[in-house]
């Protein structure tokens, strides 16, 4: 940890809580590790209360939504699709894609060994020996 990072974190967390931030589990775990500091211990108590309130509010919201489901709109079928194609009279089809350029129609594709010949290792330089 960097020097001063704990105090900076605690100040930022206090500012965030004042702005309406709900503490996350990571925040609670960090504060538990720092609870030997008086400021962190006080923040931990505050964050636990806020986190508990937040969880209760979310659970109450789920319970309320489970009792009264939201109204659903009716699904409408859109025209088209397979059923429409079966019932519709024959329509002119789009022209086929033009042939791919680059290769004549009757000529087969070249093999990789024809395009990329095998690499030959260079011959080692001749060694000269001194008579001796």
In a domain, 99, yes or no: no
Q: Is residue 3 part of a domain?
A: no
Domain contains 50 = yes
Task: Print pLDDT tens along the chain (132 aa).
Answer: 455 688 888 888 899 899 888 899 999 999 999 999 999 999 999 999 999 998 898 888 876 655 555 566 666 666 776 665 566 555 556 666 666 666 566 788 888 888 887 788 888 888 877 765
- Tell me the C-alpha distance between 24 and 54, whole Å: 10
**How long is the chain?**
132
Does residue 62 form part of some domain? yes
Is residue 84, in this structure, part of any structural domain at all?
no
Q: How far apart are CA 100 and CA 89, in angstroms?
A: 32
Total domain count, the chain: 1
Farthest CA pair distance, the chain: 105
pLDDT at position 42 is: 93
Which residues span the domain enclosing 34?
Answer: 24-66
Tokens describing residue 24: 């996350």
The pLDDT value given to residue 103:
59
Residue 126 inside a domain? The answer is no
Residue 58 in any domain: the answer is yes
35 contact partners, CB below 8 Å, separation of at least 6? 41, 44
């Amino acid at each position: 940890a960097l020097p001063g990072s704990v105090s900076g974190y605690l100040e930022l967390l206090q500012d965030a809580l004042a702005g309406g931030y709900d503490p996350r589990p990571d925040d609670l775990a960090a504060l538990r590790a720092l609870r030997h500091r008086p400021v962190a211990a006080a923040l931990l108590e505050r964050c636990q209360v806020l986190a508990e309130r937040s969880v209760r509010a979310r659970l109450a919201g789920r319970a309320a939504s489970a009792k009264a489901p939201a109204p659903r709109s009716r699904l409408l079928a859109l025209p088209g699709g397979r059923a429409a194609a079966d019932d519709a009279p024959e329509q002119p089809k789009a022209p086929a894609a033009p042939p791919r350029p680059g290769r004549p129609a009757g000529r087969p594709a070249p093999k990789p060994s024809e395009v990329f010949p095998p690499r030959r290792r260079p011959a080692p330089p001749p060694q000269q020996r001194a008579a001796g």
